[in-house]
């Protein structure tokens, strides 16, 4: 059967279309984009763009979603919050619902205020304990023989090879009334009756310090290992005792490592959920437990989102202070 002549495209018109597509591909195709990336996004820009893209996708976008939900109203539907913008009368009228009552509620309710205060207290005390324990350990590792440092660092990181949940559950077996600690103290005669160690604030501090201690040790080690030991030798030649040389030289130089380690411990400890749930008291809640209850038990996503935003804003203050301190350090180093 002969093809229909009416459906046939003239050869000249086909060549013109093919030439148009070739021109478009040449102007905006992959080769053009790859050339543009090589010319304008090579080197430092490309390296910086990757983490910025990661932060935008997995921090900025989720933050904006949670921020939007925090101004919504709860409703018994899926999703369990009302939209901020809604078209009514078949798209003729746009209605905006901005609810500030969620923030007013959590800032006036004693439960949320006491929970925030308790979370900050637990995080601050845990960070201080991690610093008091981790600084001598990091100092000892940094001043040890180079052949032994790798072994010590491996021992610090070794607990991360085990599941976090299993490590916390192990403390339940150690701290319970008939656990290893109480049985040992009873066997050696130090106590007559078992101590109440589990489901206390003490157990929460133990769990957080044990879990987050490596996050304090590693930044401190990275800082202490770079110190110039000739400064201590010069101080000794000038008559300074070791402790005074430590206070005047080592401790001030290690402040950036201290600040970095404290932030790495304090920020996740504020929102800790697993450790207080397994080791802490049932009548004393931390902000992580409140968030979980509001999201999954009460299904009050707007209030839970408002709690998350307030907690994030509270944690931004130490981060901004750390960045300001780092900026001053860099400016001083350039001088």
Candidates 30, 26, 6, 7; CA nearest to 18 is 26
pLDDT at 332: 65
Q: What is the percent of the chain where pLDDT is above 70?
A: 83
Q: What residues does each domain of the chain span?
A: 101-334
If one compares 10 and 145, the residue with the highest pLDDT of the two is 145
pLDDT band at 20 (very low <50, low <70, confident <90, very high): low
pLDDT at 319: 78
pLDDT in tens, 166-220: 999 999 999 999 999 999 999 998 888 999 999 999 999 999 999 999 999 999 9
Contact 63, 313 (CB under 8 A): no
Candidates 263, 260, 296; CA nearest to 277 is 296
C-alpha distance from residue 246 to each of 193, 229, 241, 242, 252 (Å): 44, 11, 9, 6, 9
Contact 115, 287 (CB under 8 A): yes
pLDDT at 14 over 60: no
pLDDT in tens, 220-245: 999 999 898 898 889 888 888 989 99
The CATH number that domain 101-334 falls under is: 1.10.3720.10
pLDDT in tens, 47-85: 777 888 898 999 899 999 999 999 988 887 778 888 877
pLDDT at 30: 60
pLDDT at 33 over 50: yes
Mean pLDDT on 303-311? 91
């Amino acid at each position: 059967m002969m093809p229909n002549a009416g459906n046939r495209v003239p050869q000249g018109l086909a060549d013109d279309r093919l030439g148009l597509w070739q021109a478009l591909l040449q102007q905006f195709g992959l080769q053009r984009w790859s050339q543009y990336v090589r010319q304008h996004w090579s080197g430092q820009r490309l390296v910086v763009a990757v983490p910025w893209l990661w932060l935008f996708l997995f921090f900025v976008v989720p933050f904006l979603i949670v921020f939007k939900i925090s101004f919504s109203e709860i409703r018994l539907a899926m999703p369990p919050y009302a939209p901020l913008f809604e078209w009514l009368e078949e798209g003729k009228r746009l209605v905006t619902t901005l609810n500030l009552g969620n923030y007013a509620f959590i800032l006036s309710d004693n439960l949320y205020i006491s929970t925030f205060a308790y979370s900050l207290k637990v995080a601050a005390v845990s960070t201080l304990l991690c610093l008091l324990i981790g600084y001598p350990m990091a100092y000892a590792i940094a001043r040890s023989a180079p052949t032994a440092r790798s072994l010590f660092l491996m021992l610090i990181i070794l607990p991360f090879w085990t599941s976090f949940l299993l490590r916390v559950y192990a403390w339940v077996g150690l701290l319970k009334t008939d656990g290893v600690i109480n049985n040992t103290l009873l066997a050696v005669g130090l106590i007559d009756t078992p101590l109440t160690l589990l489901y206390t604030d003490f157990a929460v501090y133990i769990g957080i310090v044990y879990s987050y201690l490596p996050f304090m040790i590693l930044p401190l080690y990275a800082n202490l290992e770079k110190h110039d030991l000739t400064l201590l030798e010069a101080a000794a030649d000038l008559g300074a005792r070791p402790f005074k040389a430590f206070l005047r030289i080592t401790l001030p130089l290690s402040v950036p490592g201290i600040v970095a380690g404290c932030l790495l411990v304090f920020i996740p400890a504020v929102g800790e959920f697993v450790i207080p749930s397994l080791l802490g008291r049932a009548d004393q809640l931390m902000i992580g437990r409140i968030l979980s209850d509001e999201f999954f038990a009460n299904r009050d996503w707007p209030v839970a989102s408002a709690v998350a935003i307030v907690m994030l804003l509270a944690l931004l203050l130490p981060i901004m202070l750390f960045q300001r301190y780092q900026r001053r350090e860099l400016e001083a180093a350039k001088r």
